[in-house]
Amino acid sequence: MNQSYNEDLDCEKMNIMTLGNGAVGKTSFIIKYTENAYQEVYLSTIGIDFKCKIIKIDDKKYKIYLYDTTGQERFRALTLNIIKNAQAIILMYDITNTSSFESIPGWIKSVKESKGEDFPMILLGNKLDKNEVRQINKEDGEHLAKENGIDFFEISNKDGTNINESVTTLINKIIKYNEKHQKEFNANDTSVLTNQSFMKKKKKCC
C-alpha cells in the first residue's frame, strides 16, 4: 500500500483525451495500451470513462490518464467541456469508415478554438488489420495531419501496431509543450517584476 502510494507521488500526471466518432476503436485502444488486452467488441461508452498507466521516459515516471469519450452526438457538449482539462488529444478515425474520417476536421477545429493552435495532438487511423477493406488512403490521413501540424499514425488495436509508439510520441509533445509555455510564463513573469522594480525605483528618486 505505501509503496504504491509513494510510486504515485513520484509520477507526473498527464491527462490525455480520445476524440472521434463512435465505434472507431477508442475504448479498444485505451485497453490495449493500458492492459495489453484486446477483444473484438466493446459496449459503447456512455459519457466519459478513463484508465491509467505508469510509464518511464528518460528516468522520469509519468502516470498517463487516458480518457475514453463517447462518440454519441448527444454527449458532444460534455466532451467539449472536458477538453478544457486535457493536456493532449488523440483524434481517431476508422480507415474502413469514411464518415469517421470526415468528422476529424470538426474535432480539430473545436480543440484549437478551446486550447490554441499549438496544443499537443496526434491523429490515428485505426483498424490497419482490415487494410483489405479500407476506405481512407494512408495519404489522406497524412495530408490532414500535415495540414494541421500534428503527427499521424495508422494503428491496429488488434495486433498492437503503433499503439505504444503513438502514445510515446504524444507524451514527448506534451513535455515539449509544457517546457515551452513554462519558459514563456517565466519570461513574462520576469518582465512584470522588472517593470514593477523600475516603478519602485522611479518613485524613490522623484
Half-sphere exposure of 187 (CA within 13 A, CB side): 6
Q: Which of 59-63, 86-90, 181-185 has the lowest mean pLDDT?
A: 181-185
Q: Is 64 helix (H, G, I), strand (E, B) or coil?
A: strand
Look at residue 139 and tell me whether its pLDDT is greater than 70: yes
What's the total number of domains in the chain? Answer: 1
Other beta carbons less than 10 A from residue 67's beta carbon: 24
Q: What is the pLDDT of residue 78?
A: 63
**By residue range, what is the domain housing residue 43?**
2-205
Interhelix angle for 76-83 vs 104-115, to 10°?
40
CA–CA dist 156, 162 (Å, integer): 7
Percent of the chain's residues with pLDDT above 90? 62
- Average pLDDT over all residues of the chain: 83
The larger pLDDT score, comparing residue 131 to residue 205, is at 131
Are residues 92 and 126 in contact, defined by beta-carbon separation less than 8 angstroms? Answer: yes
The confidence band for 185, taking pLDDT boundaries of 50, 70 and 90, is low
The larger pLDDT score, comparing residue 187 to residue 200, is at 187
The confidence band for 183, taking pLDDT boundaries of 50, 70 and 90, is confident
Q: What is the pLDDT of residue 191?
A: 45
The predicted model gives 176-186 an average pLDDT of: 82
Q: Is 37 left (phi over 0), alpha (psi -120 to 50) or beta?
A: beta
CATH number at residue 53: 3.40.50.300
What number of helices (H) and strands (E) belong to the chain? 7, 6
